[in-house]
């Protein structure tokens, strides 16, 4: 018995979700990304072990990463989407890439991986857990300086 991989239609929905979220990260548009997640999301982040709400995640992780990096994309071809038998929970496992910046402004590759857990309620999928982490050996700090488009 294999993993509970999503059917093509469900996987397409989640890959479109990843593309939309990536666009919000690249635009540093918190306001557009917020509705994708449950307000009480539990997230892991570089800057704090467990972030117990969307607000904590935005103020700690998003503020310390999105404006300081660029060109965030998920690797859709390497993404896996798993869905529970009752279709109320889904897990997306996806590598991602971005560009980080050294203190002198020179860019560096900043790859990582993500696990996002979704819950479906009232016909709507919301992220309820997120863990994005850098690959081993990638510098934790990036020194870009982009403006937040919308909070």
pLDDT at residue 49 in the model: 81
Per-residue pLDDT, 90 = 98
Among 101, 98, 102, smallest CA distance to 113 is for: 98
CATH number of this structure's domain 8-134, picked from the four choices 2.70.70.10, 3.40.50.11720, 3.90.660.10, 3.10.450.50: 3.10.450.50
What's residue 65's pLDDT? 96
What's the confidence (pLDDT) of residue 92?
A: 98
Give me the residue label for tokens 């309620």. Answer: 121
**H or E element in which residue 15 lies:** helix 8-27
The full set of domain ranges for the chain reads 8-134
What's the chain's length in residues?
151
CA 19, CA 24: separation in Å to the nearest integer? 9
Whether 44 contacts 133, CB under 8 Å? yes
Distance CA 69, CA 93 (A): 21
23: helix, strand or coil: helix
Instruction: Locate 53 and state its tokens.
Output: 């709400």
**Exposed, middle or buried, 110 (CB in 10 Å: 0-12/13-18/19+)?**
buried
Separation between Cα atoms, residue 118 and residue 88, nearest integer Å: 8
* Residue-by-residue pLDDT tens, the chain, 151 positions: 899 999 999 999 999 999 999 999 999 999 999 999 999 999 987 666 899 999 999 998 999 999 999 999 999 999 999 999 999 999 999 999 999 999 999 999 999 999 999 999 999 999 999 999 999 999 999 999 999 999 9
**Alpha-carbon span 41 to 118, nearest angstrom:** 10
Please report the pLDDT score of residue 47 as a whole number: 62
């Amino acid at each position: 018995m294999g993993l509970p991989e999503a059917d093509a239609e469900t996987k397409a929905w989640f890959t479109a979700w990843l593309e939309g979220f990536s666009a919000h990260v690249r635009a540093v548009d918190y306001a557009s990304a917020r509705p994708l997640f449950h307000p009480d999301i539990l997230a892991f982040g570089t800057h704090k072990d467990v972030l117990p709400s969307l607000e904590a995640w935005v103020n700690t992780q998003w503020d310390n990463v999105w404006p300081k990096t660029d060109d965030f994309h998920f690797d859709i071809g390497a993404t896996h989407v798993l869905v529970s038998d009752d279709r109320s929970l889904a897990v997306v496992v996806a590598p991602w890439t971005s560009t980080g910046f050294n203190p002198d402004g020179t860019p560096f590759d900043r790859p990582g991986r993500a696990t996002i857990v979704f819950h479906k309620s009232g016909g709507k999928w919301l992220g309820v857990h997120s863990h994005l982490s850098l690959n081993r050996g990638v510098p934790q700090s990036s020194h870009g300086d982009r403006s937040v488009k919308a909070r």
